[in-house]
Amino acid sequence: MELQSITCSSSNVVALLWCASLLLLGWFPTDAVGITTKEQESDLEALLAIMSQINHDPFGVTRASQNNLIGSIPSELDNLLKLEELQIAQNSLTGQLPPSLANASSLQEISLKWNRLEGRLPVTFGLLKRLVALELNGNTFSGSIPPSFCNMSSLEYLVLGTNQLSGILPVCLGSNLPSLRGILVGANNLSGTLPESLSNVSNLETLEVSNNYFHGKVSVNFRNARNLSWINMKENNLGSGSAGDLDFVTTLTNCSGLQVVSIAFNQFHGLLPNSITNLSIAMTYLYFGNNQITGTIPLGITSLVNLLGLGFEYNRVSGTIPDSIGKLKTLQWVSLGGNVVVLA
Ligand SMILES: *[C@@H]1O[C@H](CO)[C@@H](O)[C@H](O)[C@H]1NC(C)=O
Ligand SMILES: *[C@@H]1O[C@H](CO)[C@@H](O)[C@H](O)[C@H]1NC(C)=O
Ligand SMILES: *[C@@H]1O[C@H](CO)[C@@H](O)[C@H](O)[C@H]1NC(C)=O
Ligand SMILES: *[C@@H]1O[C@H](CO)[C@@H](O)[C@H](O)[C@H]1NC(C)=O
Ligand SMILES: *[C@@H]1O[C@H](CO)[C@@H](O)[C@H](O)[C@H]1NC(C)=O
Ligand SMILES: *[C@@H]1O[C@H](CO)[C@@H](O)[C@H](O)[C@H]1NC(C)=O
Ligand SMILES: *[C@@H]1O[C@H](CO)[C@@H](O)[C@H](O)[C@H]1NC(C)=O
């Protein structure tokens, strides 16, 4: 078998379908939740089909409320002391988040995703000690993520994707909030390195940091994150140009339910570790394309028997693809072009 890539001009119907789906998703959804803009409604079935294969939907894609509500959240909020859930997702709310909302101290869930809210994230939210889920994705919030958020000691889901947030991912998130299960901050303007403290987030299931300006070596050790299933670092400037850039991949071998790893479109150098053959048998997507990775694709890749998608295109991978890749019965999408190939 020779190195090749299935491109979107392929006449293969399955490949075309997948290319279309991947385009629709931007290969992976930037925040894994509630992707239902009007334009995409007709594609919802296809999307759901893919999501169902990924088998990972902590928030329920189909549960979003759409009521065409307009207006802004009033800053004088009385009688909210007993409010446990504030769900006004997918409406047309405008204006800023009132800092006084932090007085609603029983809140366990705030979902204001896919509205038109703007301004800074209120520092006062750090007072919400019972808050389990904060979903503010799909708005135009700007400014940085307040370190006071590390005081939300019950927080399990921090969902801030698709906004205009800048600054760093606070180091204290990792050291103060080990019960975090989802950190979803994709499609923002965040920068800095991925804090090493994330090694302490032992309950982590989803790490979505794609489409930002993160850079440098990934020094996170995922050994303790036994429940990690989805990790997307796509489209950043990650990598240090050193041989050990992919060391963190080896720490993922203890995550027995791991399904998706995307590190494409970064600056990762170094040798592709053989340990990818020891990743979870549950792996469905492995996407390492558009980096500077060297080495060969190990023969043992065939032990990942549930793979649906495999991408190593535009790297410096050499050698031949093992023939045994044909044993991967579920494989629907392979992209290996644009490498420095020496055919044996
Ligand atoms: C909470 O309510 C009190 C009384 O209405 C007010 O003085 C205070 O500023 C509010 N707290 C926040 C964080 O807005
Ligand atoms: C977190 O809360 C503690 C005590 O409630 C306070 O002293 C500290 O300043 C808060 N941290 C941040 C970053 O707001
Ligand atoms: C975010 O980055 C984009 C592209 O670089 C830029 O146009 C935009 O002004 C930035 N927004 C903020 C809030 O920094
Ligand atoms: C993890 O948490 C422990 C205890 O809180 C702390 O000593 C250690 O520095 C943390 N590790 C990282 C990488 O932040
Ligand atoms: C992982 O998930 C299991 C089952 O839901 C749970 O018991 C466990 O506490 C979670 N966290 C870790 C670190 O294993
Ligand atoms: C996996 O976990 C075992 C037991 O906790 C530990 O000994 C081993 O070093 C871990 N492997 C990796 C790659 O972190
Ligand atoms: C895969 O895991 C096994 C068992 O832990 C270990 O002996 C082997 O060295 C690992 N292989 C690679 C390539 O990391």
CA-closest residue to ligand 4 atom 1: 200
Of 246, 249, 252, 254, best ligand 6 pocket probe by most atoms within 8 Å of the beta carbon: 254
Residue 99 CB: number of other CB atoms within 10 A?
A: 15
Q: What pLDDT is attached to residue 84? A: 81
Cα of 143 vs centre of ligand 3, distance in Å, is 11
**Rounded Cα–Cα distance for residues 212 and 140 (Å):** 15
CA angle in degrees (0–180, nearest 5) for 105-168-285: 95
pLDDT in tens, the chain (344 residues): 222 222 223 333 333 333 333 333 333 333 333 333 333 332 223 332 333 333 333 443 333 345 566 667 766 665 667 778 888 888 888 899 989 889 888 889 999 999 999 999 999 999 999 999 999 999 999 999 999 999 999 999 999 999 999 999 999 999 999 899 999 999 999 999 999 999 999 999 999 999 999 999 999 999 999 999 999 999 999 999 999 999 999 999 999 999 999 999 999 999 999 999 999 999 999 999 999 999 988 888 889 999 999 999 999 988 777 677 777 888 888 888 787 654 43
Enclosing H/E stretch for 250: helix 247-250
**Rounded Cα–Cα distance for residues 28 and 208 (Å):** 10
Q: What pLDDT is attached to residue 82? A: 73
**Rounded Cα–Cα distance for residues 17 and 153 (Å):** 43
Enclosing H/E stretch for 20: helix 13-25
Q: Which residues contact 130 (CB under 8 A, 6 or more apart)?
A: 105, 106, 107, 108, 154
Strand partners, 133: 109, 157
Q: What pLDDT is attached to residue 21? A: 36
- What DSSP assignment string belongs to 149-164? GGG-TT--EEE--SSE
Residue 216 is classified by DSSP as E
From 241, 239, 275, 281, select the one nearest 259 (Cα to Cα).
281
Which of the ligands is closest to the CA of residue 171? Answer: 4
Which of the ligands is closest to the CA of residue 163? Answer: 3
CA-closest residue to ligand 5 atom 9: 203
CA-closest residue to ligand 1 atom 7: 100
**Rounded Cα–Cα distance for residues 127 and 116 (Å):** 24
Residue 239 is classified by DSSP as B
**Rounded Cα–Cα distance for residues 198 and 174 (Å):** 4
CA-closest residue to ligand 7 atom 7: 278
Cβ of 189 below 6 Å from ligand 3: yes
3-state secondary structure of 287: strand
Of 151, 168, 173, best ligand 2 pocket probe by most atoms within 8 Å of the beta carbon: 151
Q: What pLDDT is attached to residue 341? A: 52
Cα of 172 vs centre of ligand 7, distance in Å, is 33
> Pocket around ligand 2: residues whose beta carbon is below 6 Å from it?
126, 147-148, 150-151
Enclosing H/E stretch for 22: helix 13-25
Angstrom distances, CA of residue 57 to CA of 53, 92, 206: 11, 24, 10
**Residue 260 exposure: Cα atoms within 13 Å on the Cβ side:** 22
CA-closest residue to ligand 3 atom 11: 164
**Rounded Cα–Cα distance for residues 197 and 67 (Å):** 40
From 271, 267, 310, select the one nearest 290 (Cα to Cα).
267
Cα of 109 vs centre of ligand 5, distance in Å, is 21
Cα of 304 vs centre of ligand 5, distance in Å, is 23
Residues 159 and 113 sit within 8 Å (Cβ to Cβ): yes
Residues 340 and 313 sit within 8 Å (Cβ to Cβ): no
**What's the token pair of residue 62?**
């189909």
Residues 90 and 65 sit within 8 Å (Cβ to Cβ): yes
